[in-house]
Amino acid sequence: NQDSNWKRYFITQQKFKELESFKAGAGDLLISCSGTLGKILELPKNVEVGIINQALLKIRLDNKQILNSYFVHLFNSPYMQNIILENTIGSAIQNIASVKVLKQIKIPLPPLKTQKAIVEKLENSFAHIDEAVHHLKAVQTNIPRLKSSLLHCAFSGKLTESQNSSHKVQTLKKRVVGEEGETSALPLHPLIKEEIPQGWEVKTLGEIGKVVSGGTPSTSNKDNFDGEIAWITPADLSSYKEKYISKGKRNLSEQGLKNSSARLLPPNSILFSSRAPIGYVAIASNALCTNQGFKNLIPNGNVSSEYIYYFLLHSKRLAESVASGTTFKEISAASFSKLPIPLPPLSTQKLIVQILESKFTHLDNLAQFVNASLENL
CATH number at residue 213: 3.90.220.20
Helix spans in 242-345 (H) = 254-258, 305-313, 316-321, 333-337
Q: Does 3 map to a domain?
A: no
Is the same domain home to 239 and 318?
Answer: yes
Q: Which domain holds residue 126?
A: 112-160+345-377
Q: What is the mean pLDDT of residues 277-288?
A: 93
Tell whether 173 and 262 lie within a shared domain.
Answer: yes
Whether residues 200 and 219 fall in one domain: yes
- List the one residue out of 293, 339, 345, 333 whose CA is nearest residue 316: 339
Alpha-carbon span 243 to 280, nearest angstrom: 11
Q: Say yes or no: 282 and 336 in one domain.
A: yes
Whether residue 371 lies inside any domain: the answer is yes
Lowest mean pLDDT among 121-130, 197-206, 286-295, 316-325: 316-325
Question: What pLDDT does 182 receive?
Answer: 46
Same-domain status, 168 and 313: yes
Per DSSP, the three-state class of 340 is strand
The whole-model pTM stands at 0.73
Q: What is the percent of the chain with per-residue pLDDT over 90, rounded to a whole number?
A: 58
Per-residue pLDDT of 330-353, as tens digits, reads: 899 999 999 999 999 999 999 999
Same domain? 190 vs 318 = yes
- Number of domains into which the chain is organized: 3
Q: Which of 59-63, 118-122, 123-127, 154-158 has the lowest mean pLDDT?
A: 154-158
Q: What is the pLDDT of residue 186?
A: 46
Strands 201-204 and 340-343: antiparallel
What are the helix (H) ranges across the chain? Answer: 13-18, 68-76, 78-86, 99-103, 112-156, 205-208, 234-237, 254-258, 305-313, 316-321, 333-337, 346-376
Categorize the per-residue pLDDT at 185 as very low, low, confident or very high, splitting at 50, 70 and 90: very low
Judge if 86 and 203 occupy the same domain. Answer: no
Verify that 196 and 314 share a domain, yes or no: yes
Average pLDDT over residues 136-159: 92
pLDDT in tens, 34-52: 766 778 999 999 888 899 9
